[in-house]
A and B are shown apart, each in its own frame.
Chain A
Amino acid sequence: DAKTTQPNSMESNEEEPVHLPCNHSTISGTDYIHWYRQLPSQGPEYVIHGLTSNVNNRMASLAIAEDRKSSTLILHRATLRDAAVYYCILRDRSGGGADGLTFGKGTHLIIQP
């Protein structure tokens, strides 16, 4: 399976934008890029996913590099509630998706008031 690389931790200030990077240099042409986050003592929460084009939803935006070797999750205006571990995950289509999500260690996002 293609792997992802994320910084261990990042710090940002409340009400400012946050850019969370993810490198996936061995991504295959049919891998989707998924982002999840896990708030303290909770289960993971789906954030967003994309294939080639940039994506927006009510929670965040996903910017995908033209060569797809990297992506950036953008939180437009961070709040204290956004403090969580953020996981960048590639979905391997060759397994039909039934092999689930492969979680790495993610990025621990700290939001300062």
Chain B
Amino acid sequence: NAGVTQTPKFQVLKTGQSMTLQCAQDMNHEYMSWYRQDPGMGLRLIHYSVGAGITDQGEVPNGYNVSRSTTEDFPLRLLSAAPSQTSVYFCASSYSSADNYGYTFGSGTRLTVV
């Protein structure tokens, strides 16, 4: 099983550029989410989705956009990259958003905005 696959693993962007971070899962999980992790800090929730066609904002949604057209895919779009968005981004999925299910995380995308 592939689990949660994130691409690319590394990316360098110039300020103002846009890009999409890809996330795909093959476990038929309903719940998917995006986190960012800055040095020395815990992960912070950006956006999440409880099913295809449904998305909502997390703790730090500004500057990011998401959509969920299929159960498998949950891309994260950076509309106009800023140096403050330099971070490691993790995608996670779970069978359900209920609190008694564990999350499966991808291996991350390390993004640098110059």
Contact at A97–B98, with CB atoms within 8 Å?
Answer: yes
User: Which segment, of B12-20, B62-70, B71-79, B99-107, faces chain A?
Assistant: B99-107
Residues of chain B with a CB closer than 8 A to A87's CB: 42
In the complex where A49-B100, A91-B99, A98-B48 touch, is A44 in contact with B56 (Cβ < 8 A)?
no
Q: Chain A 59-99, CB within 8 Å of chain B: the 1/0 string? A: 00000000000000000000000000001000111001111
Q: Across the interface, which residues of B come within 8 angstroms of A36, CB to CB? A: 103
B97 & A45 in contact (Cβ 8 Å cutoff): no
Q: Contacts of B45 on A, CB cut-off 8 Å?
A: 99-101
Complex contact B31–A98 (CB within 8 A) = yes
A interface secondary structure, majority:
loop
Contact between A98 and B102 (Cβ–Cβ < 8 Å)? no
CB atoms of B108 and A42 under 8 A apart: yes
Q: Could you tell me if B99 and A106 are in contact, using CB atoms closer than 8 angstroms?
A: no
**Residues of B near any A CB (own CB < 8 A):** 4, 31, 33, 35, 40-45, 48, 50, 56, 58, 90, 92, 96-100, 102-108
Q: Complex Cα distance A35/B105, Å?
A: 14
A103 touches B42 (CB 8 A): yes
Is there contact, CB below 8 Å, between A43 and B48? no
Q: Is A34 interfacial (CB 8 A cutoff)?
A: yes
Q: Is A104 an interface residue (CB 8 A)?
A: yes
Provide the residues of chain B in CB contact with A46, threshold 8 Å: 102-104
- Interface residue from B43, B48, B99 paired with A44 (Cβ < 8 Å): B43
Q: How far is the CA of A42 from the CA of B9 in the complex (A)?
A: 11
CB-CB < 8 A to A34: which residues of B?
102
Q: Which residues of A contact B108 (CB under 8 A)?
A: 41-43
Given A42-B107, A87-B42, residue A97 in contact with residue B99 (CB < 8 A): yes
Residues of chain B with a CB closer than 8 A to A43's CB? 4, 90, 92, 105-108
